[in-house]
Amino acid sequence: MTIIGYYRPMRWLLFVLGWLVLATQASERSRSVLIVNSTEDRNSKHGEEFVPLIRSVPGWESTGVRLIWVGDFTPALVESDPKPLAIFLSGSFKDWCEVNRQHWAGMEKLLKKKSIPIWASCGGAQALAILSETGTQEAWDCPHCRDPRAPKLPIYTHLGHHTPGKPCGDYSGCTFEKGPTNVRVVRRDPVFAGLPDEFQVMESHCGQIAWPPRGWELIVTAGEGSVTRVQCIKRRGFPIYAAQFHIEMAGTPEASHRIMRNFLAEVERRWN
């Protein structure tokens, strides 16, 4: 082989490698996610806490972020540019009888499609369970105003009450789970790879999901000292997660970063 003949395939190899590097850089720049503010306040920025955690994952440092209020969410946003690769749902503050359930109609439609990976925290997680089990067409109640003989939203409960009889929205008599809390994996899942069977996450809630709705499975439950049985559920066969805990909250950085890195790896696998 002549020297010229030797360098021709080398030039081609260098060209291909250069193209792959540019393509990888372009794909990283084009990564985008959608964060849904799950509260009743349209002007709140609740959910922005996810952003530094997402951008701490290698390859996701330049991720584009759109923050939208749940009442303005429609499934069409998933198809509009820049197309999000995943959706994150924030927690919320009101009990479900106080929420305008029609604000969740767009998310209910998207959930039926199973077209994009989702991670939901706390109130956002409760919402996905409610949408899957009851939907927005039926009335919603809460444990304070509930008729135990005819519950409207039995999939949602409180952890407990110290002083029963409080009005809706008054949590002063409720049992809370706050701060670093032990949870336990009961079904192995890629999102919890690299974590021990029992580990700590951040909690801040008095409400909970009573059971996994149809089409969902329990993958994380209460650990030692925890009183919340349903800690994380997953849409069977698809990367949609509803977690009662907060990976976006400061306090358990190792577990939060591991879970986010694993979740985004699942997103990439689906995207590819």
**Residues 223-242: tens digit of each pLDDT:** 999 999 999 999 999 999 99
Confidence check: pLDDT of 18 > 60: no
What DSSP line would sit under 121-152, residue for residue? ETHHHHHHHHHHHT-SSS----TTT--TTS-S
The pLDDT score that the predictor gives to residue 182 is 98
Classify domain 31-271 at the CATH superfamily level: Class I glutamine amidotransferase (GATase) domain (3.40.50.880)
Mean pLDDT across 189-202 = 98
Q: Exposure of 4 by Cβ count < 10 A (0-12 exposed, 13-18 middle, 19+ buried)?
A: exposed
Question: What is the percent of the chain where pLDDT is above 90?
Answer: 87
H/E element, 107: helix 105-113
- As a whole number of angstroms, the distance between CA 35 and CA 2 comes to 58
Phi, psi of 167 (to 5 degrees): -70, 165
- Token couple for 139: 């009335």
The pLDDT score that the predictor gives to residue 4 is 53
Phi, psi of 222 (to 5 degrees): -65, 140
Identity of the residue numbered 11:
R
Q: Which residue has the tokens 């069409």?
A: 76
Confidence check: pLDDT of 27 > 60: no
Confidence check: pLDDT of 58 > 70: yes
Q: What is the pTM of this model?
A: 0.89
In the chain, domain spans: 1-30, 31-271
Confidence check: pLDDT of 77 > 60: yes
